[in-house]
Structure formats: structure tokens, C-alpha cells
Amino acid sequence: MQAADQLSVLGADAVTTYRRDGYFLAPGLLPADDLAGLRAAVSGILADDSPRRIMERDGTTVRSVYGPHQTDPGVARVCERRELAGAAVELLGESVYIHQSKINVKAAFVGDQWEWHQDYIYWLEDDGIREPHLVNVAVFLDEVNEFNGPLTFVPGSHDEGVLAATDKDGLPLGYEDAPEWVSTLTADEKHRVRHEVIAELAGNSGLVSPKGPAGSVLFFHPNILHASSPNISPFGRTTLIVVYNRISNPATNTTNPRPEFLAARDVTPVVISQP
């Protein structure tokens, strides 16, 4: 097993900040060559006309493509980098596997919002992951600024556990002919956190939107309460998000599992590349 102290990337202060606030931003952490390779791969990934690709409600703009580490060798290599996987081990304290990856797109002028939600409720309810021992690792492929729909967090909300949620039945408008699991991936969140809960937590802790240049890496807890506004700007906001999970915390839903590109059943530990 790869010990966290042997793979220190972020350092003790960053780990403390992550555990306190539920997120940590490392500006410019990804090496320039890896960033360039990811950016070059995006157009091909977005062109994949398959169930992996989720469109915006307009039916023409790509919202997300899931599982790029399974289809693109360059993305797979970056997911093994110590700056990502090594940092995940450092934060989770155990060897990790990739539960999910995706390219998220906030296209200029038309990128839709993500409603307030927590990620872990989906992995608990839909995939049977029994503990929130995962970390989201978001690589900024574009500059993220105040205009292009950055993620907004309620700091410290991860300590509240799974918050009260309203489950929506059926598929959202514009996705009526899609598989049922698509309801977990659209702008119209399946598990919504009640407005009064959001208001109370934000009133106590405030809101924050981490921003930074392309190549920055944002680590955030699966229970942190977050959302993002539409992209009203002429600046695109594309992100690679890799979800690492402890190998001791696998998905257990074997009766009605989501597709492999949403919920990996292969828990082979990531072999972390060294500099």
C-alpha cells in the first residue's frame, strides 16, 4: 500500500485546510505539458457520440463526457500523476482507484447551471458506496474566473454529513427519452438540498468560489455543498474531474449498477507515476 507520507504533494497545511473547509485549491499544480495534452484531447473527447456524452437542455451543446480516462490514454496517464492521484492518497490516507471521471464543459454564453447539491448522496444511493471516503479532483483546463460559472461552495458544509434532500421522480425536461441514470447528470438535480438548509449553512459560513489559471487543481470533499451558475461570459470553462475512492470503499450495488463509465467496479489501485 502506498503511504500518504511517501507521496506528499500538498503538504500538511493543505491537508489541514482541506479537512477543515472541505476543499483546497492548488494554483498551477498540473505540469504545463500535461495541461497541453489534456487541452488537445478535449475536442476528440467531446465528439464521442455515445451514452457517455450528456448534452445541455438545448440538445446541441455538450455538458459532460464521462469516463475519458477509460477511452483516452493521455487522460489516463494524467490521472496517474502524483499531482492528482498522489494528492488523493495524501488526503484519503489509503491507496485509491478511479470511481469516475468526466470532462465538464461550461460553454461560453450557453453553459447551464448546476443546482445546489452534494455528490456523495448519488454515490451512496445509486452505487452503494458506504462511506464518503472519496475526493473530487478538478483540473482547470481553462482559466476559471468570476464570470464563467465557477463552482461555489459552502465552506465546512462537508462536516454536516448527507443533508436533507428532495428526490425528484422521473426525467428532467428535455431528457424524457434518456435512460433513468441520466437524471443524476443534468442541470435539474435529482437530489436537491432544501433552500432553508442552504440558507442556514451559508448564513453561518458564507460562500466561496475558488478561481485560478488553467492548470490549477481543486480538491473537494464529496459532501461539500456546492453549485455553479450559468456561464454568461464569452470565456469557456472546461474542467477534467477525477473522483478517487479508497480501495476499501468500493461500490456495492450489484443488482442495478450504473454503467461502468459512471461507477467503476474495477478497484485496482492507481499506480502513481513519479517525477
Q: What is the CATH number of the domain that holds 110?
A: 2.60.120.620
At 16 the three-state DSSP class reads helix
With CA atoms as reference, report the closest residue to 28 among 143, 129, 152: 143
Whether 171 shows a pLDDT value over 80: the answer reads no
Residue 75 C-alpha cell reads as 487522460
Share of the chain above pLDDT 70, in %: 88
Per-residue pLDDT, 122: 92
Backbone angles phi, psi at 134, to 5 degrees: -130, 165
Backbone angles phi, psi at 75, to 5 degrees: -65, -40
Task: Establish if 267 belongs to a structural domain.
Answer: no
Q: What residues make up the domain containing 92?
A: 4-246
Residue 54 C-alpha cell reads as 450528456
Task: Establish if 59 belongs to a structural domain.
Answer: yes
Residue 184's pLDDT band (boundaries 50, 70, 90)?
low
- What is d(CA 101, CA 162) in angstroms, rounded to the nearest whole number? 22
Contact 259, 54 (CB under 8 A): no
- What is d(CA 97, CA 84) in angstroms, rounded to the nearest whole number? 12
Per-residue pLDDT, 5: 46
Torsion of CA 120, 124, 128, 134, to 10 degrees: 20
Task: Establish if 274 belongs to a structural domain.
Answer: no
Task: Establish if 203 belongs to a structural domain.
Answer: yes
Alpha helices in the chain (DSSP H): 12-21, 32-46, 68-71, 73-79, 87-92, 120-125, 195-205
- Average pLDDT score over the chain: 91
Task: Establish if 152 belongs to a structural domain.
Answer: yes
Residue 4's pLDDT band (boundaries 50, 70, 90)?
very low
Residue 180's pLDDT band (boundaries 50, 70, 90)?
low
How far is Cα of residue 164 from the mean position of the Cα atoms in its chain? 21
| Beta-carbon contacts of residue 130 (< 8 Å; ≥ 6 apart) | 124, 249, 252
The pLDDT tens digits of the residues spanning 104-132 come to 999 999 999 999 999 999 999 999 999 99
Task: Establish if 108 belongs to a structural domain.
Answer: yes
Torsion of CA 92, 95, 97, 102, to 10 degrees: 40
With CA atoms as reference, report the closest residue to 5 among 66, 84, 86: 86
Per-residue pLDDT, 173: 46
Residue 50's pLDDT band (boundaries 50, 70, 90)?
very high
Task: Establish if 251 belongs to a structural domain.
Answer: no
Residue whose entry in the numeric block shows the C-alpha cell 448527507: 162
Task: Establish if 270 belongs to a structural domain.
Answer: no
> Whole-structure pTM over 0.85, yes or no?
yes
How far is Cα of residue 258 from the mean position of the Cα atoms in its chain? 17
At 236 the three-state DSSP class reads coil
> How many structural domains compose the chain?
1
- What is d(CA 54, CA 61) in angstroms, rounded to the nearest whole number? 9
Torsion of CA 119, 195, 151, 118, to 10 degrees: -10
Backbone angles phi, psi at 35, to 5 degrees: -60, -45
